[in-house]
Amino acid sequence: MLDVRIRRRLGSFELEVALAAPRGAVTVVVGESGGGKTTLLRLVAGLLVPDEGRIALDQRVLCDRAAGTWVAPEARSTGWVAQDYALFPHLSARSNVAFGLRALGRPRAEVRERTERALTRFGIAEVAGRRPHQLSGGQQQRVALARALVLDPQVLLLDEPLAALDPGSRRSVRGELRRLLDGLPCVTLFVTHDPAEALAFGDRIAVLEGGRVTQSGPREEFLRHPGSRYVAEFLGVNLFEGEIVERTGDGLAMLEAGGGRLAVPDPGAAGRARALLHPHDVTLSLEPPVGSARNLLRGAIEDLIPEPPAGERVRVLLETSPPLAAQVTRAAVLSLGLSRGREVWASFKATAVELLPS
Amino acid sequence: MSPGARPGAAAIAPLHVAALLATTLLALLLALPLLGLLVRVSPGELLARLGDEKVLEALRLSLATSAAATVLVALLGTPAAYLLATRQFRGRPALEVLLDLPMVMPPTMAGFALLLAFGRTGLAGRALSLAGISLPFTTLGVVVAQTFMAAPFYLVSARAGFAGVDRRLLDAAATLRAGETQRFLRVVLPLAAPSLLAGLAMSAARALGEFGATITFAGNLPGVTQTMPLAVYVAMQSDLDAAIVLAVLLLLMSLGLLLAMRAATRGAWPGLARAGRPDPAPAR
């Protein structure tokens, strides 16, 4: 278990993070660019000194400002894969991979054997004689991973490992990377700004907002209970923030949000409130629907986005008040003849709305 | 077609003509003297006069002193350049100016200053003479004068080379278990090598051609302090043929060093520009 509790000021920005990441799992730290993700990795690697706090790996304290403990980066057993990989341009792929073993002063035969094994395992034996600039983005990434993992690090730090790739190769590399990371015994800390990557890679997910971890936990928990607008947006969930203006007495209340009024479960008090609505709970129709749904909104379709992987489900963004995202099947899109600009009715039950503790 | 002219350009711009004219004039100014020197001596004659004791003596002394000066520059200049390129400390700008100063200093003035400092009555000279070392009018003095004048050329190039090494490569090396010494030897040195070699070639050329500081500080004693540039100057008045041979030799050696410098710069690691590019949006 990697335990991080640190504070570090950088100019006007302050990173204050408490985070625990278990072994044998990928912990994704997701947050917007400039949110301190790279700084966090650098602190764990020992490339940056925290102003306050403590970093420990199991029983071993890597850094403790209060106790004056400091383990140099070369003694920490962390593997670091930088955003653009930071491969040594003057060395071949093979020598890049062998760099750490040589630095450790391992016997020549062992260096050769372990290097070749890593090159084969990461599928780069064929291009091992090439310099980094002669490699594709995906190959560079594998060299960087092999270079870090050949040392069997206790902690693997991945800084936006897919960001430097073009969209074409990103898809195939993503699958490869997922397989590589599966079954690694170390603590893997993976930072990204891309929510889809977070969901694809994270056994556990931590959200970094404004320099602080605002939510962390297993992926499933995230999908069920997104805790902030940022998380909701990245999960594609509707998040309404507004004011309870009326309690109707039948267990429901009226929430005024985004220029409209929604029937929601009664939170028990008036005042500010936040509510969630899953897109698949929204029903779309061309005529005003008959039924018990208390919420009925009309608006034009702003966009239709087929969802990965196969586009069987389609996200429909609506220009309603408040704006809504609905999720329907592709068959429904075809049978209703949904297209951009078309006016539709959106309905959902008041009980489908989940009020968040505020 | 003149360099830079666009294909299909109908009229040649007046500015172009002016630039062409200026370049031709400058090239002539630089080439004619060299040509004049080369036509005065045939290769056979050159080889024959190489055995000349006067020539050999100066050649040997020049090679020995400028080689020693270059080694000294490398030994002292490399750590200094690394310090200046990578560390922030109070007084760094002042130190940089001080170390660069000989580059723009009149050499005779430098030699005079060296004499005042290291002469028998000079501040450092008295201390050195207690240790039994005397610099003025000795071969060692020649080496000191050459080092003084040549060091900045290495420092400027080496500093740029060290500063150009991407810090993140050092970070990567650190996470790959390389301590500070290993990082320097296995990442910094090889990546800065082209700049270091280019600087060293420039420095060696400067030491080889040093005249003013040497004659002022170390004098003009044949076999002791009379290096090739000094010997050319003296021979001009007595033995013109010897002067020409010495001058041609100096020209060839300088040319060799210039070519070495260009080769070193061109041999810079491919892909370095890409790996060394700064982050477009520095991540925090």
Domains identified in chain A, total number: 2
Q: Whole-angstrom distance between the N-terminal and C-terminal Cα of chain A?
A: 31
The verdict on A229 and A298 lying in the same domain is no
The verdict on A246 and A337 lying in the same domain is yes
CB contact under 8 A, B191 and A73: no
Q: Which amino acid, residue B170?
A: L
Residue A24 belongs to what domain range?
2-234
Q: How many CB pairs under 8 A join A and B?
A: 106
The verdict on A278 and A176 lying in the same domain is no
CB contact under 8 A, A103 and B176: yes
Tens digit of pLDDT at every position of chain B (284 positions) = 445 445 555 567 888 999 999 999 999 999 999 898 888 888 888 888 888 888 899 999 999 999 999 999 999 999 999 999 988 899 999 999 999 999 999 999 999 999 999 988 888 888 888 888 889 999 999 999 999 999 999 999 999 999 999 999 999 999 999 999 999 999 999 999 999 999 999 999 999 999 999 999 999 999 999 999 999 999 989 888 888 889 999 999 999 998 988 888 776 555 444 333 333 333 34
Distance from C-alpha of A218 to C-alpha of A6, rounded to nearest angstrom: 22
The verdict on A70 and A212 lying in the same domain is yes
Check residue A267 and give its pLDDT.
83
The verdict on A266 and A328 lying in the same domain is yes
The answer on pLDDT for A91 being more than 90 is yes
What residues pair up with A317 in beta bridges, in sequence order?
Answer: A303, A325
Q: What is the CATH number of the domain that holds A292?
A: 2.40.50.100
Tokens of B232: 């050319």
A357 pLDDT band (50/70/90 cuts)? low
Check residue A115 and give its pLDDT.
97
Domain end: A234, A256, A284, which one?
A234
Q: Which tens digit of pLDDT belongs to each residue from A289-341?
A: 888 888 999 999 988 888 766 778 888 989 999 989 999 999 999 999 999 99
The verdict on A298 and A184 lying in the same domain is no
The verdict on A83 and A222 lying in the same domain is yes
Chain B closest CA to A227's CA: distance in Å? 24
The verdict on A186 and A331 lying in the same domain is no
Check residue B186 and give its pLDDT.
95
CB contact under 8 A, B177 and A47: no
The verdict on A249 and A181 lying in the same domain is no
The verdict on A25 and A153 lying in the same domain is yes
Tell me if A51 sits within 8 A of A39, measured CB to CB: no
Chain A closest CA to B182's CA: distance in Å? 7
Check residue B279 and give its pLDDT.
34
Whole-complex ipTM: 0.75
Check residue B121 and give its pLDDT.
83
CB contact under 8 A, A103 and B269: no
Q: Which residue of A10, A86, A104 is in closest CB contact with B172?
A: A86
Of A74, A76, A98, the residue nearest A150 (C-alpha): A98
Tell me if B154 sits within 8 A of B79, measured CB to CB: no
One of 3.90.10.10, 2.40.30.110, 3.40.190.10, 1.10.3720.10 is the CATH number of B43-268, namely 1.10.3720.10
The verdict on A113 and A244 lying in the same domain is no
Within 132-191 of B, beta carbons closer than 8 Å to A belong to 166, 168-169, 171-179, 182, 186-187, 190-191
Domain end: A234, A269, A289, which one?
A234
Domain end: A216, A234, A252, which one?
A234
What residues pair up with A4 in beta bridges, in sequence order?
Answer: A19, A55
The verdict on A133 and A78 lying in the same domain is yes
**Neighbouring residues of A212: CB distance < 8 A, sequence distance ≥ 6:** A15, A16, A17
Tell me if B180 sits within 8 A of B77, measured CB to CB: no
